[in-house]
Amino acid sequence: MSQAMLIINPSSGKELGKKHATLAEETLATRFETVDVRFTEKEHDATEFARHAAQSNYDAVIAMGGDGTVNEVITGIAEQPHRPTLGIVPLGTVNDLSRALHIPTDPEEAIQILADAPARPLDIGKYDDHYFMNVIAVGLIAEAVEEVSVEQKTSLGSVAYFIEGLKAFKDHSPYPIEIDSAEKQFDGEAHLLIIALTNSVGGFESFAEDAKVDDGLLHGFIITKLGFFDALQALPKLITGGLSKADQIEHFTTTRVEIRSKEELPINADGDTAGHVPVTVEVLPQHLTVFSPSSIE
């Protein structure tokens, strides 16, 4: 008997989860014989629900919520021998993984795709003993994200992060940072290190334009001595592509990287605070499968 678990964060997207719960359940019922609906009430609920689904041999786990909810679901299934296929109904502000998978940002359209969307391989990342689905940031943006209010996220989306990032460039000097991988060694000063799994970072879908969701690679960007006006000039490249070729940005790809610093640099994983360096980051190639539109390359 085919089984799916639908995990809903009822507070995501101005409570859109509650509004679309019935449609999602009915749509999944056309594909799976049993649909188990769970509503989260507190942090880590989605992880526990997803872990139970994996251990109970469910065929699919659908995350309906923002990036935080999707991250929790991935954490719940990533460590299990049986890993159900992941589905996503994006209700958050940025929804980077959904963008990379070409999943519509409109909840009703995303739900309809679940009726017959094929499953494809998906890379995820691991930093120390934790999992991430999209991006690790060390340095300025990791600090700037903490300054973005809920109101800014709701009204400005990705632009809110860019604005706080510009403020940080103005107020901070670069940090000492060491990066060590088989493909890249760096020991110097930088404002920011980005490690991306997909093309979409912070809602900018051309940030890591060469990244694919299943290429088995970490895509690194070291932003060195970048001034306020340089950051403004980089904005078009964030939107149209070409950031990896910009001056004062060092780009590399790898499968595993160690990051250290003489300072206590903050880490941000998938938009949430995640401790401080030192940290080891690695890719888990095609570790999961995910429902996505058949049109994606």
**Do residues 188 and 223 touch, judged by C-beta distance below 8 A?**
no
User: Residues 6 or more apart from 26 whose CB is under 8 A from it?
Assistant: none
* pLDDT tens per residue across span 92-102: 888 999 999 99
The CATH architecture of the domain made up of 3-117 is 3-Layer(aba) Sandwich (3.40)
Max mean pLDDT among 101-115, 154-168, 201-215 falls in 101-115
CB atoms within 10 A of CB 127: 19
At residue 200 the predicted structure's pLDDT band, cuts being 50, 70 and 90, is: confident
Q: Residue 69: which of 51, 44, 86, 38 has the closest Cα?
A: 44
> Which band of pLDDT confidence, cut at 50, 70 and 90, is reported for residue 154?
very low
DSSP H or E segment with residue 28: helix 16-29
38 — pLDDT class (breaks 50, 70, 90) = very high
Identify the CA nearest to 265 among candidates 275, 255, 251. Answer: 275
Three-state DSSP at 294 gives coil
Mean per-residue pLDDT, 223-240: 57
CB contact set of 161 (below 8 Å; sequence gap of 6+): 94, 141, 144, 145, 148, 202, 203
pLDDT interval class at 152 (50, 70, 90): very low
Residue ranges of the domains in the chain? Answer: 3-117, 135-286
Among 297, 270, 132, CA closest to 212: 297
Cβ count near 210 (within 10 Å):
13
User: Is domain 135-286 given the CATH code 3.40.50.300 in the classification?
Assistant: no
Asked if the model's pLDDT at residue 54 lies above 70, the reply is yes
| The most confident of 77-86, 135-144, 268-277, by mean pLDDT | 77-86
* Overall average pLDDT of the 248-275 stretch: 91
The confidence score (pLDDT) of residue 83 equals 99
Name the average pLDDT for the chain. Answer: 85
Residue 130 contacts by C-beta under 8 Å, 6 or more apart in sequence?
75, 269, 274
